[in-house]
Amino acid sequence: MNEASLSLHTDKYQINMMYAHWVQGTHRQWAVFDLYFRSLPFGNGYAVFAGLERVVRYLSNLRFEEDDIAYLRTQEENYPEAFLEELRRFRFSGHLYSVPEGTLVFPNEPIVRVEGPIMESQLIETALLNFVNYQTLIATKASRVKQAAPHDILLEFGSRRAQEADAAIWGTRAAYIGGFHATSNLLAGKLFGIPAKGTHAHSWVQSHDGEEEAFRKYAEALPDQVTLLVDTYDTLRSGVPNAIRIARELESRGKKMDAIRLDSGDLAYLSKQARRMLDEAGLSDVKIVASNDLDENLIFNLKAQGARIDIWGVGTKLITAADQPALGGVYKLAAREKDGEYVPVIKISGNPEKVTNPGVKEAYRLVSRTTGKAKADYLALPHESDVREGVPLRLIDPVHTYIEEPFDDYEAVPLLRPVFRDGELIIELPKLDEIREYRERQLELLWPEYLRKLNPEQYRVHLSPELLRLKLELIRRYQA
């Protein structure tokens, strides 16, 4: 999708609420919305925030074109021309705060905060959720794969299985943030500067009279980039022996074969046998690449079986987040303008996890000065200065609120940073490699117990005592 034509990338009820506010004359009143998610994906101990660059492009180009206005004229609501003229003048004029991309984030803390006229902040809900939900999900999945193979090369191979082109392109970017090293997708490489890697398909072998001939012709064409797919016919009886012959021919010309690739069969057994054959042929520097519907669980198990794989090509299960295809992020009203001030609001639900945290909130990561590790995240109202000044805190258990823990000697790191002010972009977005490095530093802040793949310890997000009192007060008020 072109960022310049996304004004209608929204749900219809957003336009209808905008119209109703316009009719009531409340469309210029400001409101505060929080974007967050309620539970971690994949049973993981954290999520990796991604999607801000897409949000910035969207808001910077957001406007209703003439064909958008013409389409809205066809709707059964019969919007009046004066309202459509209001849309024609539409530009985002609010503020946006966000955690930096690559930040490790947790349930029920705002990762994006929008402040602006209700007409604007309502329209952008759908697009922001779409961008952040998907890219955060893929970045988190990629980070899990990275943890299963922390010292290996990871290649993103998912384009042909992604849900359309946009998912392939932006999913590749999210995977790179999450720790992958390269992609098979050339457009993603061009757009984002991600290294692009590729070998050949089985069809290359099938299009020749024999496997050895196919390997030789490929090596002749690309003598400095030779990775041979060895499982078209028989991996150990023909594929690897033929690859060894081609490797020796390359060496006689002063060249080296990079790798062989396994794409089917028992990858643990085949990789160990192939490694033995390569080593015995004096080709210990030739790498082994594996693909074939891999994810962090299969990689974890293959490593446990002693697989001799150096490079992993991960596609379908990464780009589609196959075991959890949605993050479930939400965008909820936290405060509204009344008489020139923000009034906190709350949503109450029969499901306790759906009760919102009211008011404008700041989010902090509490890092112990003693250990250098993050203790917890902390939500507070903007005027609460204790946390910023390092005053000893009482950390109230978010579920069992009668349990408190004292905490002092900490640094409170603000999580939400200003991105747009009065509709103007006020920051320079970091480069993609800077985001990857930032994610690595974020991981170093957490104890291993929060990072482990199986049954991770729960990292807590605490409410300040004042914010908790406000929440309980509003619950009692509206229940009464």
| Amino acid 353: pLDDT | 86
Residue 168 near residue 319 (C-beta atoms within 8 A):
yes
Same domain, 126 and 242: no
Two structure tokens written together for 182: 């390269």
Two structure tokens written together for 57: 């492009």
pLDDT tens, position by position, 351-367: 888 999 999 999 999 99
User: DSSP strand E in 187-239: where?
Assistant: 227-229
Query: Closest Cα partner for 427 from 148, 35, 128, 56?
Result: 56
Whether the predicted pLDDT of 319 surpasses 90:
yes
Query: Closest Cα partner for 334 from 177, 87, 86, 112?
Result: 112
Residue 376 near residue 395 (C-beta atoms within 8 A):
yes
Distance separating alpha carbons of residues 54 and 56, to the nearest angstrom: 5
Two structure tokens written together for 427: 């920051």
Same domain, 129 and 223: no
Residue 306 lies in a domain: no
| Amino acid 81: pLDDT | 97
Whether the predicted pLDDT of 480 surpasses 70:
yes
Distance separating alpha carbons of residues 267 and 299, to the nearest angstrom: 10
Distance separating alpha carbons of residues 314 and 151, to the nearest angstrom: 15
Same domain, 330 and 286: no
- Type and span of the H or E element at 322: none
Same domain, 431 and 366: yes
Distance separating alpha carbons of residues 202 and 210, to the nearest angstrom: 12
For range 289-300, the mean pLDDT: 97
DSSP characters for 124-168?
THHHHHHHHHHHHHHHHHHHHHHHHSTTSEEEE--GGGSSSHHHH
pLDDT tens, position by position, 378-394: 999 999 999 999 999 99
Same domain, 266 and 356: no
For range 85-89, the mean pLDDT: 97
CA angle, 103 then 108 then 110, to 5°: 55
pTM: 0.96
Per DSSP, 109 falls in state S
For range 26-39, the mean pLDDT: 97
Residue 148 lies in a domain: no
Query: Closest Cα partner for 154 from 91, 197, 115, 98?
Result: 197
Residue 313 lies in a domain: no
Query: Closest Cα partner for 461 from 167, 202, 105, 209?
Result: 105
Residue 143 lies in a domain: no
Distance separating alpha carbons of residues 225 and 199, to the nearest angstrom: 8
β-pair type (112-117, 311-314): unpaired
Mean pLDDT rounded to a whole number for the chain? 96
Distance separating alpha carbons of residues 462 and 369, to the nearest angstrom: 19
For range 111-116, the mean pLDDT: 98
Same domain, 340 and 269: no
Which residues are CB-contacts of 401 (< 8 A; sequence separation ≥ 6)?
A: 468
Q: How do the residues of the chain divide into helix, strand and coil, expressed in percent and rounded to 5? A: 40, 20, 40
Same domain, 212 and 339: no
- CATH number of the domain that residue 344 is part of: 3.20.140.10
Residue 315 lies in a domain: no
Same domain, 452 and 394: yes
- CATH number of the domain that residue 234 is part of: 3.20.20.70
Per-residue confidence band for 42, with pLDDT thresholds at 50, 70 and 90: very high
Same domain, 415 and 333: yes
Question: The domain containing residue 244 runs over which residues?
Answer: 199-292
Q: For residue 339, is it left (φ>0), alpha (ψ between -120 and 50) or beta?
A: left
Two structure tokens written together for 323: 């075991």
Among 268, 292, 316, where does a domain finish? 292
Same domain, 461 and 350: yes
Distance separating alpha carbons of residues 293 and 69, to the nearest angstrom: 45
| Backbone φ and ψ of 479, nearest 5° | -70, -30
Task: Look at the chain and report how many structural domains it folds into.
Answer: 2
The Cα-based distances of 337 to 14, 31, 373 in angstroms read 19, 6, 38
3-state class (DSSP) for residue 112: strand
CA angle, 195 then 197 then 198, to 5°: 165
Per DSSP, 4 falls in state G
Residue 364 lies in a domain: yes
β-pair type (461-463, 374-380): parallel
pLDDT tens, position by position, 201-230: 999 999 999 999 999 999 999 999 999 999
Query: Closest Cα partner for 358 from 108, 49, 61?
Result: 108
Q: What is the largest CA-CA distance in the chain?
A: 86
Per-residue confidence band for 4, with pLDDT thresholds at 50, 70 and 90: low
| Amino acid 350: pLDDT | 86
For range 55-84, the mean pLDDT: 97
| Amino acid 5: pLDDT | 78
Among 247, 272, 292, where does a domain finish? 292
